[in-house]
Each structure stands twice: as structure tokens, then as C-alpha cells.
């Protein structure tokens, strides 16, 4: 029985989406963003030399069609990405009104977001008084720090010492529909932070705030470091997703990375988390041993969290090259009737002003018993195609690009 592996390279956009003019970083629309294209151009120009050198080298992804997808999506040359595709390849566009993690993943799993998320204004303070009061009550403190839009690493560096001195949690948001709470694992306590976020989540989910995120860190002044113990308390999807459908058909579902959090645990059988290096090992294990008819859904977040938001071009390029090299043996381990689709959920162009996601098209490249160009498709077509490969069909949006037949999700 066929197996499927859906792998999200978090934030690997390949050129501005047609509606990018309605999405902004600061006052600048995302119309010129191109995460992969601009990284490749920077590498070729010798502008991404920290820890690596020369043109971007992604032989395995490029052989599947990554460079071809980049050219189709944006017309960008993609220096070093010029292989003739051997796999199934194309481009996907999002219809959900957002450029955030839940929107992208839900839609890839066949469920476009049917409502508008609640966002916090770019003011200081930015959170409503009743939300702040609830944080203080749940945490048992007299105040909070932050209460603003901020980069997570920057605000921890700036307010970490005050947090340790006062015991007040650091609360901040971004352009996404999120409420993030950073706290020191040792002086505040990891379990206390998780309990705080879990207790706050229902209040914010009722207002359609997508996620309450626990952001634990360690270290001291001048050397604060976020840990892998992040936990997202996400609003549950408002309808069935690919995970629900596969599980409902009596098949096993495995999630790798933050997928379990993104889907609020719905449809999730076995789940593993960790740093991207650990997750690659788990992906290899699943390719070797996942049961027949199963779905493995993986997210590799560090492209986004460590390099995109921090506008680190060299770091993003290094991580892409590491990912590609590690992926090679895994691709060789796939069985003849397995399907592995590699895609993304949004962009996060490290050359673009600001620190937020960018509204972009994303690549869809795959290895399996299919090949050729699929053109420019909808995000939901990815989930529909996985369902078709597994022999599961339901009514709803999404058309399989494997056979050309409608497969509802």
C-alpha cells in the first residue's frame, strides 16, 4: 500500500504572489519579495559567504525541479539552480487571507481559512487591558514586559535581564495573529510558562487569535538563547484536514516538528519534535519504517525562525545546503510507490526590509511514481494530491495534480 510524506520547508517562497501588494513589511508591500531567488542571487554575487561560499548548491532539490519552479513562479534565473527536472514540479498559490504558519499549513492540508484572523495593532501598548489582566492573573505577577510588536530574539536580549529581576513575562506579537510569551526556563520555569500559555489560549482563540506561543529561553545578560522547548497553542482547524481524513480512513499519521501544534493535535497519531537536525533523523526513520498506507507530515522551521526573521542570508543558504545534502540519502530510501512532496507555507525573504513573513508563491516538488510539470496550482491541491495517492477522496476544495481528477478535501 502506498505511503505519503509531506515536507514543509518553512518559509521557502519563490516569488511574490499575485496579491502580494496587499501584504506589507512596515510600509513596503511584498511585491518584490523572492526568498529563494534573492538568496541564490546573493550567493552567486559573493554576498553570502559566512560559513559557506559560492553559488547556492542544492543538487537534490534542483533535480526534482526547484530551480524550474522558481523560474515558473517569478522568472528569476536562480543562479546554480538550472537542472532539467526529473521529478514532479510546479508552483502553489495561497487563497487564505494571511501569510502565517496556520493559514499556510491548513490550506496545504486542504482547508483554506474561512475567516479573518485577529491581529494586534502596531502600537505600544498593543494588547487589550483585559488580556493583560488575564496574563497577570494566570502568572501571579503584578505586570508584564514588552506589550509590543517585536522580534523574539531582540526583545529577549533587550528585556531578559528585567524579566529575571522582576519575574514578569515578556509579551509580544508580530504581523501574524499571535500572542507570544517569553520566559526564562530556570528563573521563571518552563512548566509555569507552558501552563500560563495554555490557560490564556481559550480567551484569545475565542477572538480568532491564531496562536499563543510559549518562547522559553536560557542564559544570562548578553547571552540569552531560545530553546527547542517552544510550544504553540493553536486554534483548532474549523473543519477536517488531510490529517483527519487519513486518520479517519484507519491509516496511521505521523507528524514531525511543529505540525502537531499547528493542527492542535487533531488527526495526529505519533508526533516528534526537536531541532531541525533531529527532525531530519526522524524523517529518515519514518521513510525506513513508516507503515503501509500512512502519512508523514513534517515541518522544518529553522529556515524561518533562525534565518528568515533574522534576515540572515548566509545562514539561510547554509541551512538550505545542509537540508539538501541530508535529503539525498532519504530520497534514495523511498520505496517505488512512495510519494514525497516538498513545499513551503509562505515566504520570509532575508533580503527584504523588516523581519516578517513575505506573501509569496511556493515550490511544489516531488519524488515518487509521477513526473512532469503541474503548472501553477492552489495550496489545497497539495493535500488533494496526497489524498489521491493514498486512495482517500472527500468533497471540498482541491484538485489532485497527480491524475487530473478532482479529489475533494
Each residue of 292-326: pLDDT tens digit? Answer: 999 999 999 999 999 999 999 999 999 999 999 99
Q: 258 by DSSP, 3-state: which?
A: coil
Q: Give the model's confidence band at 79: pLDDT under 50 very low, under 70 low, under 90 confident, else very high.
A: very high
Q: Give the model's confidence band at 38: pLDDT under 50 very low, under 70 low, under 90 confident, else very high.
A: very high
Mean pLDDT of 219-224: 97
Rg (CA), the chain: 21
CB-CB contact of 286 with 254 (8 Å): yes
φ, ψ of residue 271 in degrees (nearest 5) = -135, 140
Q: Give the model's confidence band at 406: pLDDT under 50 very low, under 70 low, under 90 confident, else very high.
A: very low
Each residue of 181-199: pLDDT tens digit? Answer: 999 999 999 999 999 999 9
pTM of the model: 0.92
Q: Which residues contact 175 (CB under 8 A, 6 or more apart)?
A: 24, 25, 99, 119, 149, 356, 357
pLDDT over 70 at 12, yes or no: yes
Percent of the chain with pLDDT over 90: 95
* Alpha carbons 194 and 231: distance in angstroms, whole number: 7
pLDDT at 365: 98
* Alpha carbons 91 and 402: distance in angstroms, whole number: 14
pLDDT at 404: 46
* Alpha carbons 216 and 225: distance in angstroms, whole number: 9
Q: Give the model's confidence band at 254: pLDDT under 50 very low, under 70 low, under 90 confident, else very high.
A: very high
Each residue of 132-157: pLDDT tens digit? Answer: 999 999 999 999 999 999 999 999 99
pLDDT at 337: 97
* Alpha carbons 341 and 3: distance in angstroms, whole number: 11
| Grid cell of 306 as nine digits | 533562525
Each residue of 265-297: pLDDT tens digit? Answer: 999 999 999 999 999 999 999 999 999 999 999
- Residue of 97, 72, 13, 94 whose CA lies nearest to 397: 94
* Alpha carbons 334 and 367: distance in angstroms, whole number: 9
- Could you report how far apart the first and last alpha carbons of the chain are, in Å? 21
341: left (phi over 0), alpha (psi -120 to 50) or beta: beta
pLDDT at 175: 82
* Alpha carbons 263 and 268: distance in angstroms, whole number: 8
Q: 74 by DSSP, 3-state: which?
A: helix
304 is in an annotated binding site: yes
pLDDT at 392: 95
User: Do β-strands 178-184 and 170-173 pair in parallel, antiparallel, or remain unpaired?
Assistant: antiparallel
Residues β-bridged to residue 342: 7, 365
Q: Which residues contact 285 (CB under 8 A, 6 or more apart)?
A: none
* Alpha carbons 198 and 215: distance in angstroms, whole number: 13
| Grid cell of 86 as nine digits | 526529473
* Alpha carbons 307 and 301: distance in angstroms, whole number: 10
pLDDT at 409: 40
349 is in an annotated binding site: no
Q: 121 by DSSP, 3-state: which?
A: coil
Mean pLDDT of 153-174: 97
* Alpha carbons 24 and 346: distance in angstroms, whole number: 13
389 is in an annotated binding site: no
CB-CB contact of 3 with 290 (8 Å): yes
pLDDT at 26: 85
163 is in an annotated binding site: no
* Alpha carbons 224 and 229: distance in angstroms, whole number: 14
pLDDT at 195: 98
- Residue of 325, 362, 351, 348 whose CA lies nearest to 57: 325
* Alpha carbons 22 and 281: distance in angstroms, whole number: 39
pLDDT over 70 at 408, yes or no: no
Amino acid at each position: 500500500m502506498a505511503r505519503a510524506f509531506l515536507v514543509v520547508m518553512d518559509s521557502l517562497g519563490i516569488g511574490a504572489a499575485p496579491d502580494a501588494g496587499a501584504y506589507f513589511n512596515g510600509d513596503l508591500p511584498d511585491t518584490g519579495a523572492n526568498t529563494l531567488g534573492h538568496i541564490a542571487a546573493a550567493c552567486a554575487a559573493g554576498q553570502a559567504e559566512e560559513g559557506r561560499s559560492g553559488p547556492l548548491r542544492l543538487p537534490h532539490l534542483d533535480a526534482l525541479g526547484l530551480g524550474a519552479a522558481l523560474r515558473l513562479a517569478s522568472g528569476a534565473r536562480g543562479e546554480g539552480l538550472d537542472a532539467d527536472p526529473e521529478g514532479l514540479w510546479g508552483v502553489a498559490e495561497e487563497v487564505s487571507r494571511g501569510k502565517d504558519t496556520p493559514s499556510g499549513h491548513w490550506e496545504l492540508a486542504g482547508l483554506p481559512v474561512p475567516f479573518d484572523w485577529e491581529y494586534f495593532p502596531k502600537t505600544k501598548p498593543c494588547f487589550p487591558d483585559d488580556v493583560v489582566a488575564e496574563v497577570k492573573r494566570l502568572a501571579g505577577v503584578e505586570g508584564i514586559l514588552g506589550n509590543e510588536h517585536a522580534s523574539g530574539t531582540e526583545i529577549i536580549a533587550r528585556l531578559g535581564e528585567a524579566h529575571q529581576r522582576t519575574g514578569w513575562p515578556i509579551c509580544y506579537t508580530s504581523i501574524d495573529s499571535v500572542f507570544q510569551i517569553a520566559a526564562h526556563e530556570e528563573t521563571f520555569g518552563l512548566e509555569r510558562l507552558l501552563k500560563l500559555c495554555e490557560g490564556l489560549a481559550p480567551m484569545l482563540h475565542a477572538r480568532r487569535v491564531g496562536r499563543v506561543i510559549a518562547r522559553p529561553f536560557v542564559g544570562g545578560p548578553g547571552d540569552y538563547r531560545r530553546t527547542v522547548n517552544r510550544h504553540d497553542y493553536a486554534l483548532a482547524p474549523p473543519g477536517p484536514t488531510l490529517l483527519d481524513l487519513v486518520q479517519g480512513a484507519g491509516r496511521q499519521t505521523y507528524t514531525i516538528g511543529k505540525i502537531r501544534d499547528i493542527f492542535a493535535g487533531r488527526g495526529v497519531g505519533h508526533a516528534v519534535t526537536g531541532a531541525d537536525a533531529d527532525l531530519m533523523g526522524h524523517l529518515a526513520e519514518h521513510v525506513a519504517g513508516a507503515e503501509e498506507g500512512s502519512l508523514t507530515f513534517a515541518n522544518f522551521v529553522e529556515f524561518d525562525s533562525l534565518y528568515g526573521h533574522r534576515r540572515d542570508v548566509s545562514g539561510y543558504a547554509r541551512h538550505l545546503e545542509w537540508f539538501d545534502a541530508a535529503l539525498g540519502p532519504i530520497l534514495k530510501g523511498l520505496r517505488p510507490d512512495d510519494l514525497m512532496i516538498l513545499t513551503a507555507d509562505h515566504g520570509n525573504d532575508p533580503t527584504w526590509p523588516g523581519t516578517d513573513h513575505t506573501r509569496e508563491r511556493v515550490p511544489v516538488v516531488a519524488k515518487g511514481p509521477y513526473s512532469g510539470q503541474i503548472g501553477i496550482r492552489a495550496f489545497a491541491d497539495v493535500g488533494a494530491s496526497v489524498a489521491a495517492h493514498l486512495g482517500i477522496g472527500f468533497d471540498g476544495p482541491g484538485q489532485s495534480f497527480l491524475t487530473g481528477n478532482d479529489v475533494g478535501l
